[in-house]
C-alpha cells in the first residue's frame, strides 16, 4: 500500500504543469465487519488506502465523479479487499472558521475483489462465505476539510453480491480516514 501511495504521489507531482492525475490520497483505520447490514463474524482492524483521480471530462454527464482505486488489508488475517469505482462529492458547508475549510459528504459505487471465502461449503469459525470473488461495493463518507489540502472523515463501506449468488454474507467496515489533496 505504501508503495502504491508513493507511485500515486510521484504521478501527481510529475503533472504539476497540468491537471494532476491523482487528485487525493486517503488512508485510515477501519473496524472490520461491523454488525450493520449483517452479523459480525470476522475480527481485526483494516488499514485502508485509496487514491482518487481527477474526474475526466466525459464523466461530467453524470456529475463529474472521481474514479477511485483502493484497498483494505485486514490486520487479523481475515478478508482483505481491493476495490475500484466512482466517487461523487458535495460540499455541505464552506468557510466555517477559515477560508478553505468546510464539511463535505462523499458517496461511491463500484466493485471489489476480496481474499475471503467464496465456497458454499461452510467457512471455518470466524470467517464469512462471501460468494463470488468479485462483489459490488458502495461507501459513504462525512468529513471536515481542515485546509484545501487536508481532511479528516468518518467512513463506512459495504460489499456484497446483492443476493445474486447462494452465499451473500456481506462485509461492512467503518472508521476514520485522513485525506491529502494535490
Domains plus CATH for the chain? 25-181 (2.40.160.20)
Q: What is the pLDDT of residues 130-147, one digit of tens each?
A: 889 999 999 999 999 999
State pLDDT tens for residues 82-116: 999 999 999 999 999 998 899 999 999 999 999 99
Residue 141: exposure state from Cβ atoms within 10 A (0-12, 13-18, ≥19): buried
Alpha helices in the chain (DSSP H): 2-14
pLDDT at 60 over 80: yes
- Taking 50 as the threshold, does the pLDDT of residue 4 lie above it? no
Q: What is the pLDDT of residue 159?
A: 95
77: number of Cβ within 10 Å:
12
3-state secondary structure of 115: coil
What are 171's strand-pairing partners? 159
104 close to 151: Cβ distance less than 8 angstroms: yes
Amino acid at each position: 500500500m505504501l508503495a502504491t501511495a508513493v507511485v500515486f504521489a510521484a504521478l501527481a507531482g510529475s503533472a504539476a504543469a497540468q491537471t494532476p492525475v491523482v487528485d487525493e490520497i486517503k488512508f485510515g483505520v477501519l473496524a472490520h465487519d461491523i454488525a450493520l447490514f449483517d452479523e459480525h463474524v470476522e475480527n481485526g482492524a483494516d488499514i485502508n488506502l485509496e487514491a482518487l483521480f481527477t474526474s475526466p471530462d466525459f464523466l461530467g454527464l453524470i456529475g463529474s465523479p472521481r474514479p477511485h482505486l483502493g484497498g483494505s488489508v485486514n490486520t487479523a488475517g481475515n478478508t482483505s479487499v481491493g476495490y475500484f469505482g466512482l466517487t461523487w462529492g458535495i460540499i455541505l458547508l464552506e468557510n466555517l472558521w477559515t477560508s478553505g475549510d468546510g464539511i463535505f459528504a462523499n458517496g461511491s459505487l463500484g466493485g471489489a475483489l476480496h481474499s475471503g471465502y467464496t465456497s458454499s461449503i461452510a467457512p471455518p469459525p470466524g470467517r464469512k462465505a462471501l460468494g463470488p470473488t468479485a462483489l459490488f461495493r458502495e461507501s459513504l463518507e462525512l468529513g471536515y476539510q481542515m485546509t484545501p489540502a487536508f481532511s479528516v472523515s468518518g467512513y463506512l463501506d459495504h460489499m456484497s453480491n446483492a443476493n445474486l449468488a447462494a452465499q451473500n454474507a456481506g462485509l461492512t467496515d467503518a472508521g476514520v480516514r485522513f485525506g491529502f489533496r494535490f
